[in-house]
A and B are shown apart, each in its own frame.
Chain A
Amino acid sequence: MSDGQRVGIVLVSHSAAVADSVAELARGLAGGGAEVPVASAGGTEGGGLGTSAELISAAAAAVDRGAGVAVITDLGSAVLTVKALLAEGDELPDGTRLVDAPFVEGAVAAVVTASAGGDLDAVEAAAAEAYTYRKA
């Protein structure tokens, strides 16, 4: 963590409505999470269902405060697009990481942890741990 800055969170879904709503949910459940930079990258640029590399790059740039960016995705092309962008090397801010986590629970855990001042490793660990919460 640099200069007390918060880790940025990017939420990538095939649907803009899903990405926006999960961002709102995570911010709401984080309470004091208003200071955490969260951006959604949902759907295609044309407003359809799908994944947009441009929206992902823009969202990551928007939330980057120098403390790293955690990217949480839903499935399929969202995962593959982020991986391809990371492999490019220069498409996403330094310190951007694809976090292996369930979309909704992972987003909430990530935003809560980031709002508490956790660094990128802590945010990633909290989001990934959300896989272990059994519901039945």
Chain B
Amino acid sequence: MLDAAFFRRWMAATAASVDREAERLTALDSAIGDADHGANMQRGFTAVTAALEKEAPTTPGAVLTLAGRQLISTVGGASGPLYGTLLRRAGKALGDAAEVGEEQFADALRAGVDGVMALGGAAPGDKTMIDALLPAVDALGDGFAAARAAAEAGAVATVPLLARKGRASYLGERSIGHQDPGATSSALLIAGLAEAGDE
């Protein structure tokens, strides 16, 4: 079973990896976006960490809804509402339970990914976060490590794709050959899940 402490570890692990990888995210974003993804994600997850420390939510659902709220208000780019919706939808799906099963969590995360697709209008293959998140959710039944591997493979698989959403889509064929920054940060988020599970 997964408790609130697990979800706090997940957010902390993601915040740490976003810190470590911020320059890489921004470098990827400078190739096909507006070169702010690393700094935006860093600002967002710094706010998540601070809010979780201050409010110390006690259920898995409350951890994720609080984290999502922080991302919506602090990121400053499209990834804010998208990641915020992902975590808030997942958090709301978990309800008030003090502990949740892995299957229940997988369903909740899928609800979150559905929310992201509805908000941004992206489908698989559009070179977005979805290309890492959807394979991860599909693999979650085989454990966090499998989800992590699927997300990382999904992010790498965005390289040859043509961007169909967001600012990168204005580049048309020039977006081909670059790994999508959003899919890359999504893989960090899922990797954080595996790290939280290892502890």
Contact = CB atoms under 8 A, between A and B. Distances in A.
* Pair from one complex: yes
Interface of A: 44, 48, 50-54, 76-77, 80-81, 83-85, 87-88
Interface of B: 36, 40, 69, 72-74, 76-82, 84-85, 88, 115, 119-120, 166-167
Contacts of A48: 76
Contact of A83 (B81, B88, B166): B81
A51 B166 contact: no
A51 B75 CA distance: 8
19 contacts: A44-B76, A50-B36, A50-B76, A50-B77, A51-B80, A52-B76, A53-B73, A53-B74, A53-B80, A53-B81, A76-B78, A76-B166, A77-B79, A77-B80, A80-B80, A80-B82, A81-B72, A81-B80, A84-B84
A34 B153 CA distance: 56
Contacts of B69: 88
Nearest to B83: A84
B128 to A, nearest CB: 12
Given A48-B76, A50-B76, A53-B72, A81 B167 contact: no
Contacts of A54: 73
B167 A83 contact: no
A85 B84 CA distance: 10
